[in-house]
């Protein structure tokens, strides 16, 4: 078995920009190879030093020529090609012996990197993996705080070794550019920026992300001070300049809004990505205390917990916060439009004093859906959703609606079944249902579904004991067609008998 070849990018210079994967592979390799000029000092090796271990073989690949002349019969290119062939042969010997070889590369291995010459000569012969790294262009843009491109703009990366007139042509026709390989080429690169008419917005970055980095307008650079590890940036004209703090304009008044969201019935995985995004963007969270406790804490946000019986006051508070420019999320369990805060907020928002405040409602998974999913498909046919609470409607209306829905042979999802303040209403509701439904009618009781105390049981209308039900429960009362399978699953057929 041969060894494996890795081309590993180390980033632009900051040791903390070495990726986790790069560090792991460097530490695990049998052989670590790196390039250097005639002086033998390797920037890549210095970056990798914290991850090297005792006993590893180090292959120093010294270029025979960089910027100086050569007496090689093939000239500069001949000398370099011969060097790459010899270096590849040295690494192949290790690979043939079953040793894994990591070739280090500053920046990214495939972005003007020396590794690519090993890749071209060895990748077709040995198992190979390339580990990308942060490029010098990305590092330079980060340190000057200027985006390179946005929307449909074009970024052009150019080598400084191109003729000045060709560079100028590219620079005059692109939105944003990075010119690498400076050093001795800087004079003609600066000339190209000036000829293209963009020198005034060009930036110079030297040794980006290192403790020796230097940045300034390209027009102010002394050509005699420019090293090879530097580049010229032409940022996007759309990004403007980065003003000093004193030059920043006053922030425009921000328009607030109220977003009413549903967390779902319990488990965090039942909160939709859309709701999670609205919660993350909010300045203030408003809601019933136990529901707010389900939202992860964020010290940037202000929480406004309240009791469960003050929906109108809670809505008015949220709308007042939004009028002052705050982004407010009103938090409900389940779906905010099903016996929850959406209607309360819209009722209050209709008042003249709240005109102009934007209100959005984002849906959530309902408790009825969650309980139904735990037992199968009891809501597979027509169903009705009824709250047994008589806080906002008379009990007579509740019982009349129950009888009507039961007589229509609808599956019933019953919310707010039994509270400490009205412990006898569930018994009255069951009596009303028993007037028109058979005793064997299937009933599903779901308690704290999606929460730590989840309990789901299947019983019948005859056997249901109201004392076993509380406000954390939801009841599903089947129709005449609802069935229980031998495996205990509940479903209501889609077809109704004619």
CA distance 156 to 10: 23
Same domain, 46 and 141: no
Burial class (CB within 10 angstroms; exposed 0-12, middle 13-18, buried 19+) of 52: middle
Number of domains in the chain: 4
Q: Are residues 51 and 79 in the same domain?
A: yes
Domain presence at residue 37: yes
340 within a domain of the structure (yes/no) = yes
pLDDT, position 247: 42
Q: Looking at residue 461, what is its pLDDT?
A: 94
CATH code of 228's domain: 3.30.950.10
* Domain at 322, CATH number: 3.40.1010.10
Residue 496, domain member (yes or no) = no
Residues 359 and 384 in one domain: no
Residue 439 forms part of a structural domain: yes
Yes or no: say if 372 and 379 are a contact pair by the CB < 8 Å rule. Answer: yes
Residues 402 and 345 in one domain: no
Tell me the CA distances in angstroms from 64 to 70, 75, 76, 323, one per residue in order.
Answer: 9, 11, 9, 71
- The answer on 463 and 417 residing in a single domain is yes
Q: Are residues 128 and 26 in the same domain?
A: yes
Tell which of 82, 101, 133 closes a domain. Answer: 133
Half-sphere exposure in the Cβ direction for 95 (13 Å, CA): 22
> Domain check: are 356 and 269 in the same one?
yes
What is the chain's pLDDT, residue by residue, as a tens digit (498 residues)?
A: 899 999 999 999 999 999 999 999 999 999 999 998 888 889 999 999 999 999 999 999 998 876 667 778 888 788 889 999 999 999 999 999 999 999 999 999 999 988 999 999 999 999 999 999 999 999 999 999 999 888 889 999 999 999 999 999 999 999 999 999 999 999 999 999 999 999 999 999 999 999 889 999 999 999 999 998 899 999 988 765 544 344 434 444 556 899 999 999 877 888 998 999 899 889 999 999 999 999 988 888 999 998 877 889 999 999 999 999 999 999 999 999 999 999 999 999 999 999 889 999 999 999 999 999 999 999 999 999 999 988 888 999 999 999 999 999 999 999 999 887 788 888 999 999 999 999 999 999 999 998 888 999 999 999 999 989 988 899 999 999 999 999 999 999 999 998
| Residue 245 placed within a domain | no
| Same domain (yes/no): 335, 426 | no
Residue 60: CB atoms within 10 A of its CB come to: 12
- Structural domain ending residue among the three candidates 240, 270, 294: 240
How many Å apart are CA 362 and CA 360, to the nearest integer?
7
Asked if residue 292 belongs to a domain, the reply is yes
Q: Using the 3D structure, point to which of 365, 384, 413 is the last residue of a domain.
A: 365
What is the dihedral sign for C-alpha 79, 84, 90, 96? negative
User: Nearest 5°: phi and psi at 101?
Assistant: -120, 125
What is the residue range of 354's domain?
257-365
pTM greater than the 0.75 cutoff: no
Residue 149 lies in a domain: yes
Flag whether 40 is in a domain: yes
């Amino acid at each position: 078995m041969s060894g494996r070849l890795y081309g590993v990018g180390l980033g632009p210079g900051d040791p903390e920009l070495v990726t986790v994967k790069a560090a792991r592979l460097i530490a695990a390799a049998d052989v670590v190879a790196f390039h250097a000029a005639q002086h033998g000092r390797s920037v890549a090796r210095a970056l990798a030093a914290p991850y090297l271990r005792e006993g590893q073989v180090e292959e120093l690949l010294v270029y025979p020529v960089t910027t100086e002349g050569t007496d090689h019969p093939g000239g500069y290119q001949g000398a370099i090609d011969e060097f790459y062939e010899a270096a590849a042969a040295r690494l192949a010997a290790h690979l043939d012996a079953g040793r894994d070889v990591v070739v280090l590369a500053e920046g990214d291995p495939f972005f003007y990197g020396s590794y690519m010459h090993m890749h071209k000569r060895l990748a077709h012969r040995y198992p190979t993996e390339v580990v990308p790294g942060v490029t010098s262009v990305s590092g330079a843009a980060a340190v000057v705080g200027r985006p390179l491109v946005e929307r449909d703009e074009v970024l052009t990366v150019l080598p400084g070794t191109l003729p000045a007139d060709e560079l100028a042509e590219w620079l005059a026709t692109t939105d944003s550019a990075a010119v690498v390989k400076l050093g001795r080429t800087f004079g003609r690169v600066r000339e190209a920026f000036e000829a293209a008419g963009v020198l005034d917005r060009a930036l110079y970055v030297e040794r980006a992300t290192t403790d020796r980095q230097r940045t300034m307008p390209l027009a102010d650079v002394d050509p005699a001070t420019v090293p090879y590890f530097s580049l010229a940036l032409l940022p996007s004209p759309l990004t403007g300049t980065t003003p000093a703090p004193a030059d920043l304009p006053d922030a425009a008044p921000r328009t607030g809004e109220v977003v009413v969201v549903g967390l779902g019935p319990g488990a965090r995985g039942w909160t939709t990505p859309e709701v999670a995004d609205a919660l993350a963007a909010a300045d203030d969270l408003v809601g019933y205390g136990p529901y707010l406790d389900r939202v992860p804490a964020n010290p940037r946000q202000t929480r406004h917990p309240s009791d469960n019986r003050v929906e109108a006051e809670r809505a008015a508070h949220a709308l007042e916060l939004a009028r002052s420019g705050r982004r407010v999320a009103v938090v409900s369990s389940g779906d905010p439009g099903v016996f929850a805060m959406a209607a309360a907020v819209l009722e209050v928002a209709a008042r003249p004093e709240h005109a102009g405040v934007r209100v959005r409602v984002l849906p959530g998974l309902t408790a009825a859906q969650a309980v139904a999913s735990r037992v199968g498909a009891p809501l597979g046919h027509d169903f009705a959703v009824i709250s047994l609470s008589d806080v906002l409607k008379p009990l007579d209306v509740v019982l009349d609606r129950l009888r009507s829905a039961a007589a229509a042979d609808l599956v019933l999802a019953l919310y707010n079944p039994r509270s400490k303040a009205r412990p006898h209403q569930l018994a009255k509701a069951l009596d009303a249902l028993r007037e028109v439904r058979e005793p064997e009618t299937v009933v599903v009781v779901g308690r704290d579904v999606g929460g730590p105390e989840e309990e789901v049981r299947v019983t019948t209308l005859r056997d249901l004991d109201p004392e076993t039900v509380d406000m954390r429960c939801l009841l599903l009362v089947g129709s005449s067609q609802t069935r229980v399978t031998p495996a205990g699953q509940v479903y209501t057929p889609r077809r109704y008998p004619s």
